[in-house]
A and B are shown apart, each in its own frame.
Chain A
C-alpha cells in the first residue's frame, strides 16, 4: 500500500470512527442535562413521574455512555495512530484543551458512578440531584474542550513559524481562537437539541404504540419544549457561524453555497445540482446569502473562483449544508407548533400523523448532526490545520490502515447492534406502568 492509499484509508477510518462516536457523544453531552432537569422538576413539582423519568433516562444513559467512552478512547488513540505528524505538531500548541478534556471526562465518570449506585442511599432527593450537577458539567465541559481542539484546526493561532520551527507558543491564545465561540456554542446547543428531540421521539413512539400513561405525555411535552428552546439557539448560533466563515474561511461558505462569482446581492441556493460551474434545478432565494453573510441584502460576498483550485473544498458539501439547515428549520417549526398547540388545545397535535412526525424528528436530528459535522470537516479540505498543514502530509506512513479499517467496521457494527438491542430490551421488558407498580409494591412492603 503506498502512502496515498494510507492517506485515503486514514481519512475513511477517522470519518467512520467519528461518525459513529458523535451519535453517542452527543447523547452523552445532552442527556445528563435532561436527567438533571427531570430530577429537578420532580423535586420542585413533587411529581413522581419526573423522578422516574430521570431514573429511566439514567439507566439508558449508561448504555450509550459506555459506547461513547470506548469509541472516544478509540478516536483519542487514532489521532496519534493515523495522524502522527499532525499530533506531533498540534501537541506543541493544543495539548492543553486535550488534557483539560480528560479532566472533565474523569470528573464526569466519577460522579456518574456515584449517582448510579447511590439511588436509594439518600433520603433527601436534593442531595442526589447535587450529584448530577458535576455529571452534567463534566459532560458539557468535555464537549467544550474537544471542540476547542477542532476549532484550532480551523483557525490555528497562538504560535509563529520561523524556519519551519514553531516558536512563541501561547497555549491560551491557541484555545481562544476565532472559530472557538461559534463552534463551541453550536456544538453544545445542538447536542442538547438532539438529545431532547431523540427523547421526545421515544415518548411519541410509546404513545403511538398505545401507552397513554401521563408519564409519556409529560415527557413528550417537556422534551419538545426543551428541543424548541435549543433549536432556536442553534439557529441563532448557526447564523453567527456563517458570519464567522465569511470573515475567516470564506471558501467553505462559498463552496457550501455554490457561490462561484464574487458579487453583490448574492442569492442563497437551495437544492439543485452542479457540474462545477453551472447550477441547475435550484431554488434561488435572492439576497439571502448576502443577508446570511453580512446582514445586508446588498453586501458583496466572495465567490469560490477567487481561491486557488487546489485549496477549495469539494462541492458536495452543499447537500450537507442543505440537509442540516432544512432539518433544523423543520424541527423548529414542528416543536413550535406542538408547544403552542398544547397551550391552545389544538386538536391535530394529538393526531397520529403529527405524532409520527415527532417520532421522525429523532432520527432526522441525528442526520442533521452528522451532516453538520461532515460539512464542517469536509469543508476545510484540503487542510488538516487550516493554511498550515495539508491532510496528505499529516497521515501515517504505516501500511496496514486498510486492514484496521475493516476491523473497526466490524467493531462498530457489533457495538451499534448491541447497544440498540440492549436499550430496546431494557425498556420493553420494564415499561413505565410496570415500574410504577413495582415501586408502589416495594413501598407498601416497607410499611409492613
Chain B
C-alpha cells in the first residue's frame, strides 16, 4: 500500500468517525427539540444530556482532524475546495459555532431555555445539509476552471436533483443513526419510556434512508457514469451493507439485541462509506484533482504518518477511558451519579 492510499484511508476513517458521532449529536438535538414541541421532553432530555455533555467537545475534534489532515496530506485540495466552498462551508461553520457554544451555554450556564433548544435542533439538520454539499461537488459538474481558477456554479448546484437527494440522505442518515444509538443508550439506562420513543423514531427514519440511497444511485448514473460503474464493481460491499441494515431494522422492530443492532448500524455505514470512497478513487474532485497529483511531498507524508501513529498511541487509550466512564459505566448511564463540576 502506498502513502497516498494510507493517507486517504486514515482521513476517510476520521470522516466516518465524524459522520457517526456527529450524527448522534445532531440527531439528539433534533429529537430533543421535537420532544419539547410535543411535550415529551421529560422522557428524552435526561438521556440525551447524559450522553452528550462529556463528549460534546470531542465530536468537534473529529471534524477538525479531517480538514487539517486533508490539507496536510493533499495540499492542493486547499486550492480547489478552499476557493469553491467559501459559502457552504462558512454557513456550516457559523451553524456549528452557534450550536456548539450555545450547547455549552445552556448545559453549563442556564438550563431550560426553550427557544435555544429549537435553534439547536434545527441547526442540527442544517449542518449536515450544508456540509454534504461537499460530497455533491466532489462528483464534478459544478466546478469549472476559469483563467486557471476554480469557480463554483451555484445555480446548477441548487437546481440539481442529485444535490437534493444527497441532502435527503444526509438528514435521514443523521436521524436514523442517532435514534438507533439513543435507543441502545436508553435501554442500557433501563429507561423504558425513552427506549420505546426512540425506537419509534428509528423505525420511522429507516424508510427515507433506504429510499434516498436508491435515489442517489439513479441520479449518479445520470450525473457521473464513471463513478456509477465503479460502484457497481463493488456491489457486494453495498450488498453487505444492505443486509446489515435489514437486520438492524429487524432487531429494532423486535425490540431486542439493541447492542448488536448498534454494531450492525456502524457496520452498514462503514461498508457503504468505504465502498463509496473506494469507488470515488482516484478522484478527490472529479475530474480536476486526483489522489496522486495533489499528494504532498514524501518527507512530509512520512512525518505525518509517524505523528499519526504516535498520536494514536495517545488517543486510543484516552478514548477507551471516555467510553468506559460514560458509555459503559452503568451507574453513570442510569444517572445515579451527579458528577458534574
Give me the interface of A with B, judged by CB distance under 8 Å: 55, 58-59, 62-63, 65-67, 69-74, 76-78, 80-85, 87-93, 95-96, 98-103, 105-107, 109-121, 134, 166, 169-172, 396-398, 400-401, 403-404, 407-408, 411, 414-415, 418-419, 422-423, 425-426
Contacts and interface: CB of A to CB of B under 8 A. Distances in A.
Nearest to A61: B341
B105 A419 contact: yes
B75 to A, nearest CB: 3
B226 interface: no
B300 A77 contact: no
Contacts of A83: 82
B69 interface: yes
Nearest to B304: A99
Contacts of A134: 318
A334 B56 CA distance: 40
Interface size class of B (residues with CB under 8 A): 35 or more
Given A95-B75, A115-B341, A408 B325 contact: no
Contact of A116 (B67, B109, B338, B340): B340
Contacts of A91: 71-72, 74-75, 78, 296
Contacts of B74: 91
A44 to B, nearest CB: 20
Contacts of A114: 54, 321-322, 325
A84 B148 CA distance: 14
B271 interface: no
Contacts of B73: 95
12 contacts: A70-B97, A92-B75, A99-B68, A99-B72, A110-B321, A117-B53, A117-B341, A134-B318, A404-B90, A407-B91, A418-B105, A419-B105
Pairs A-B, 9 closest by C-beta atoms:
A91-B75, A95-B72, A66-B104, A84-B82, A422-B109, A87-B78, A70-B97, A80-B82, A103-B311
Residue among A66, A92, A111 having the largest count of chain B Cβ atoms under 10 Å:
A66
B2 interface: no
Contacts of B61: 102, 105-106, 109
Contacts of B322: 110, 113-114
A119 B339 contact: yes
Contacts of A404: 86-87, 90
B326 interface: yes
Interface of B: 53-58, 60-61, 63-65, 67-69, 71-87, 89-91, 93-94, 96-98, 100-105, 108-110, 149, 296-297, 299-300, 303-304, 307-308, 311, 314-315, 318-319, 321-322, 325-326, 332, 337-341
Contact of B109 (A92, A112, A408, A426): A426
Which of the listed residues A70, A89, A118, A166 has the most CB atoms from chain B within 10 Å of its own CB? A70
A171 B307 CA distance: 12
Nearest to B92: A77
A171 B86 contact: no
Contacts of A72: 64
B107 to A, nearest CB: 9
A161 to B, nearest CB: 13
B96 A88 contact: no
B82 A414 contact: no
B341 A419 contact: no
A391 to B, nearest CB: 16
B307 A107 contact: no
Given A81-B85, A422-B105, A425-B110, A69 B60 contact: yes
A403 B90 CA distance: 10
B108 A70 contact: no
Question: Which of A63, A71, A72, A109 has the largest count of B CB atoms less than 10 A from its CB?
Answer: A109
A116 B54 contact: yes
A102 B86 contact: no
A113 B78 contact: no
Nearest to B310: A103
A106 B65 CA distance: 9
Contacts of A102: 61, 64-65, 68-69
Nearest to A10: B86
Best-buried of B74, B87, B308 by chain A (most CB within 10 Å): B87
B299 A171 contact: yes
Nearest to B149: A397
B90 A117 contact: no
B102 to A, nearest CB: 7
Nearest to A97: B307
Contacts of A111: 318
B78 A69 contact: no
Given A95-B304, A398-B83, A407 B94 contact: yes
A118 B340 CA distance: 7
B101 A418 contact: yes
A115 B57 CA distance: 13
B99 to A, nearest CB: 8
Given A70-B101, A88-B75, A95-B300, A110 B319 contact: yes
Nearest to B317: A110
Contact of B76 (A71, A88, A98, A100): A88
A401 to B, nearest CB: 7
B90 A407 contact: yes
A55 B94 contact: no
Given A81-B90, A84-B82, A112 B57 contact: yes
B98 A401 contact: no
